[in-house]
């Protein structure tokens, strides 16, 4: 008997995977504008928000290191379904366990799903597109994967803000809706063609993901990893503490505004990558350096004045810069890595980026327990500006010599 899985074409499977990728990434940032509501419900300080958010990043790093690479032999479809099922588990946890401990566990589990998903879905999209359109050079698959990744991260806060501002039960309804959508995605993904077929005899013994920087190009790879770390620190700020800063610094309690602010930063990063897709990496780095510098100065200025419009505009400009910086970091690492160890070098950059989501935000949360919000934001902006510009300059100097 012919199964549904066998009836689905590679072309249809491509769009099913892309849509599922977008959906899971969006759900990972839906809680962003909801954090102030959880604070009101349980009465915990802002430092706890950073711990809850950091749990997500820890989950991502853990699964990237221990699980994210095994779809190379365990199968793309299987690991994608597992990633969605783990995301479903996080939605259930949000619904039934809304205390601080429950939020931390739910975000940790959600991060695990993202770590499994990102590399697997990106690889699966490339392979499905190559089967469906062998005449293409991979640009469409890479662009769709990037759009699903950053686009999903951008849409999540906006969706969460809409639920919080206009619909009842904002701590229940978003998770319930996404729970249903994720269950549908898991079922539909079962129909997608598998692109990896490794027999049990050929499967390698399990090992965690290796990380490496080639000795001959250690400086640019470390700069790329540092650029990813510092750039994702900005993303971490806008996906964890933006609602807190809007209330404390600008006295803006609109949940939609909180979601829209985070949306704008991620959307700017995604749009910037698309607009400059065909521009030389060295030029992209020049734009990234300029945008990071101007944007972070504007973020700091907006907080000092205080002017919300300047703060948000600065976040958008910096978002363009961080998007280009991360894209260039991946390109730099891929270009200097030896072919046999390219995945290990790229893993180093990805893991550095997700560490950047957690560690700086935890530090910000710690200092907010005894320092004024504006002061903490100024110091954070200055450190991220120095880090992103320095990393960009090092990677750009490498491009000038090649």
Q: Report the C-alpha gap between 346 and 353 in whole angstroms.
A: 11
Q: Distance of CA 26 to CAs 19, 221, 318, 328, 349, Å?
A: 10, 30, 21, 24, 22
Q: What is the pLDDT of residue 30?
A: 97
Q: Is the torsion defined by CA of 242, 248, 249, 255 positive or negative?
A: positive
Residue 33: both structure tokens together: 């504008």
- 59: in domain: yes
pLDDT at 7: 54
Contact in structure between 233 and 227 (CB atoms under 8 Å) = no
Query: Would 202 be classed as within a structural domain?
Result: no
Same domain, 165 and 306: no
Considering the domain architecture, whether residues 139 and 274 belong to the same structural domain is answered as: no
Q: Where are the beta strands (DSSP E) in 103-219?
A: none
Are both 289 and 364 inside the same structural domain?
Answer: yes
Same domain, 191 and 268: no
Residues 184 and 222 in one domain: no
Q: What are phi and psi of 18, to 5 degrees?
A: -60, -45
* CA distance linking residue 92 with residue 89, whole number of Å: 5
Any domain includes 156 = yes
Q: How many domains does the chain have?
A: 2
Angle at 245 between CA 242 and CA 250, to 5 degrees: 125
CA 294/CA 117 separation, integer angstroms: 33
Q: Which of 288, 317, 314, 322 is nearest to 378 (CA)?
A: 314
Backbone conformation region of residue 138, classed left if phi is above 0, alpha if psi is from -120 to 50, else beta:
left
> Which DSSP symbol is given to 34?
G
Residues 224 and 322 in one domain: yes
> Strand, helix or coil at 233?
helix
Q: Are residues 217 and 88 in the same domain?
A: no
CB proximity list for 167: less than 8 A, separation 6 or greater:
173
Would residue 201 count as lying in a domain? no
Say yes or no: 65 and 123 in one domain.
yes
pLDDT at 2: 40
Q: Which tokens belong to 307?
A: 């002017």
Q: List the pLDDT tens digit at each of the 402 positions of the chain.
A: 344 444 579 999 999 999 999 999 999 999 999 999 999 999 998 889 999 999 999 999 999 899 988 898 889 999 999 999 999 999 999 999 989 999 999 999 999 999 999 889 988 998 999 999 888 777 788 778 888 988 899 999 999 999 999 999 999 999 999 999 999 999 999 999 999 887 777 788 888 988 888 887 888 889 999 999 999 999 998 988 888 889 888 888 888 999 999 999 999 998 998 888 888 889 999 999 999 999 999 999 999 999 999 999 999 999 999 999 998 888 888 788 776 677 688 888 889 998 998 899 899 989 999 999 999 999 999 999 999 999 999 888 876 555
Asked if the structure places residue 204 within a domain, the reply is no
* Residue 159 CA, distance from chain mean position: 16
CATH number at residue 269: 1.20.1250.20
DSSP-based three-state secondary structure for 346: helix
* Residues of the domain holding 348: 210-402
State how far the Cα of 296 lies from the Cα of 322, in Å rounded to an integer. Answer: 11
Write down the pLDDT at residue 308: 93
Please give the Cα distance from 172 to 150 (Å, whole number).
25
Determine, yes or no, domain membership for 270. Answer: yes
Cis peptide bond N-terminal to 359, omega within 30: no
């Amino acid at each position: 008997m012919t199964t549904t899985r066998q009836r689905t074409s590679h072309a249809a499977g491509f769009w099913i995977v892309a849509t599922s990728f977008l959906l899971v990434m969006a759900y990972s940032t839906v809680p962003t504008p909801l954090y102030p509501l959880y604070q009101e419900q349980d009465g915990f300080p802002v430092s706890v928000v950073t711990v809850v958010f950091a749990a997500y990043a820890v989950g991502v790093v853990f699964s990237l290191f221990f699980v994210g690479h095994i779809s190379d032999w365990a199968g793309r479809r299987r690991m994608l379904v597992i990633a969605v099922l783990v995301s479903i588990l996080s939605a259930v946890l949000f619904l039934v366990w809304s205390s601080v401990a429950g939020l931390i566990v739910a975000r940790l589990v959600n991060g695990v799903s993202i770590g499994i998903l990102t590399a697997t879905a990106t690889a699966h999209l490339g392979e499905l597109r190559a089967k469906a359109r062998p005449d293409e050079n991979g640009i469409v698959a890479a662009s769709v994967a990037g759009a699903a990744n950053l686009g999903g991260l951008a849409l999540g806060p906006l969706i969460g803000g809409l639920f919080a501002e206009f619909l009842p039960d904002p701590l229940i309804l978003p998770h319930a809706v996404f729970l249903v959508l994720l269950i549908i995605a898991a079922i539909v993904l079962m129909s997608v063609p598998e692109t990896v077929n490794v027999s049990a005899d050929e499967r390698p013994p399990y090992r965690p993901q290796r990380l490496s920087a080639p000795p001959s190009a250690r400086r640019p790879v470390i700069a790329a990893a540092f650029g990813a770390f510092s750039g994702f620190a900005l993303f971490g700020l806008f996906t964890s503490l933006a609602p807190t800063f809007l209330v404390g610094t600008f006295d803006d309690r609109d949940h939609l505004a909180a979601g829209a602010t985070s949306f704008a930063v991620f959307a700017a990063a995604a749009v910037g990558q698309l607009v400059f897709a065909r521009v030389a990496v060295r030029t992209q780095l020049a734009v990234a350096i300029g945008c990071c510098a101007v944007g972070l100065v504007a973020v700091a200025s907006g907080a000092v004045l205080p002017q919300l419009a300047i703060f948000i505009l600065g976040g958008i400009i910096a978002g363009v810069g961080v998007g280009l910086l991360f894209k260039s970091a991946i390109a730099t690492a891929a270009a200097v890595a030896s072919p046999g160890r390219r995945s290990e070098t790229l893993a180093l950059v990805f893991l550095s980026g997700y560490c950047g989501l957690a560690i700086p935000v935890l530090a910000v949360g710690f200092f907010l327990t005894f320092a004024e919000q504006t002061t903490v934001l100024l110091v954070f902006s200055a450190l991220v500006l120095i880090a992103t510009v320095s990393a960009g300059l090092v990677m750009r100097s490498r491009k000038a010599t090649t």
